[in-house]
Amino acid sequence: MTMSISKMKALIAANWKMNKDIKEAVSFVKSFEKLIKNAKNIDIVICPPFTLFSELNQLLKNSKIKLGAQNMHFEDKGTFTGEISPLMLKDAGCEYVILGHSERRQYFNETDDLINKKVKSALRHNLKPILCIGETLQQRDNNKTREIIENQLINCLNDINENEIKNLVVAYEPVWAIGTGKNAAPEQAEEVHKFIRSLLLKIYNKKISDNARIIYGGSVKPENIKCLMKMKNINGTLVGGASLDPKSFAEICNAA
Ligand code: PGA
């Protein structure tokens, strides 16, 4: 059955990046949980650094907050110094995993081909991949946004069939909006989200396209969340900076 897009449950994910120690994370969760007591009909995910999984998994046992990772290797185990596997993430209580974040692409040379391997592996292990795609400012200025989005999406989903894809989340994250304080205008984001949905229709089918959660990331704050969430094809957000403070992240969750 296909669900109406506007009725889809929103997904609000926190990307803590390389921030917070155990003490800070525990104190965040304690204040944050009180502030989101009344939040309904949304999925809330926190993606902390790996060192916080064990503590947070305990703390979130009976909570509506889910755990996600910021990255993973595509192999199950082996001689890959410094890497973490999908099995380890599952063991640590993870349900989601961010893949292909622009910071991974930019600073760690991740390519679409590598990200494709990771997406396949995540889906195979029943982890929900949050696949990030997005254009740089230069690409947008050169009218290349659609071309970039289409190439990234097609390459990252290469050889993944319609039976495997159902847990996928796509995050549209324009690189120029990440950590800059300059979010995409809601209409600007909506246009790309709609385009992504049309690509999913082209690659897969109507059911997959209608049911896919397409979330927006890039300078989301309590001040802009409402306008973004009003857009038909925006089904949630991936929040960096504003997710580090329990009050502002709770405001975002409550508004969504
Ligand atoms: P930001 O980061 O909210 O700080 O712009 C978003 C992200 O990197 O996912």
At 73 the pLDDT is: 98
Any residues with Cβ below 6 Å from ligand 1, and which? 15, 173, 178-179, 217-220, 238-242
Q: Which fold has domain 5-255?
A: TIM Barrel (3.20.20)
The dihedral built from the CA positions of residue 87, 54, 24 and 46, taken in this order, carries a sign that is positive
Active site residue 173: yes
Mean pLDDT on 223-250: 97
Question: Which tens digit of pLDDT belongs to each residue from 24-71?
Answer: 999 999 999 999 999 988 999 999 999 999 999 999 998 999 999 999
Compute the distance between CA of residue 131 and CA of residue 118 in angstroms, rounded to an integer.
10
How much distance in Å is there from the Cα of 45 to the middle of ligand 1? Answer: 14
CA dihedral sign, ordered 119, 199, 185, 45: negative
pLDDT, averaged across the chain = 95
pLDDT the model gives residue 3: 60
Q: Is 193 a catalytic residue?
A: no
Contact (Cβ atoms closer than 8 angstroms) between residue 173 and residue 238:
yes
- The pick from 220, 221, 228, 252 for probing ligand 1's pocket by mutation, whose C-beta has the most ligand atoms within 8 angstroms, reads 220
Q: What percent of the chain has pLDDT over 70?
A: 97
Indicate the Cα dihedral angle 112, 133, 238, 66, nearest 10°: -40
Per residue in 190-218, pLDDT tens? 999 999 999 999 999 999 999 999 999 99
Confidence category of residue 90, pLDDT binned at 50, 70, 90 = very high
| pLDDT per residue as tens digits for the range 152-172 | 999 999 999 999 998 999 999
pLDDT of residue 138: 94
Alpha-carbon distance of 135 to 218, in angstroms, equals 12
pLDDT at residue 226 tops 70: yes
The ligand 1 atom at the shortest distance from the C-alpha of residue 219 is 5
Taking 70 as the threshold, does the pLDDT of residue 10 lie above it? yes
- pLDDT category of residue 179 using cuts at 50, 70 and 90: confident
Calculate mean pLDDT across residues 173-182. Answer: 91
d(CA 212, CA 220): 21
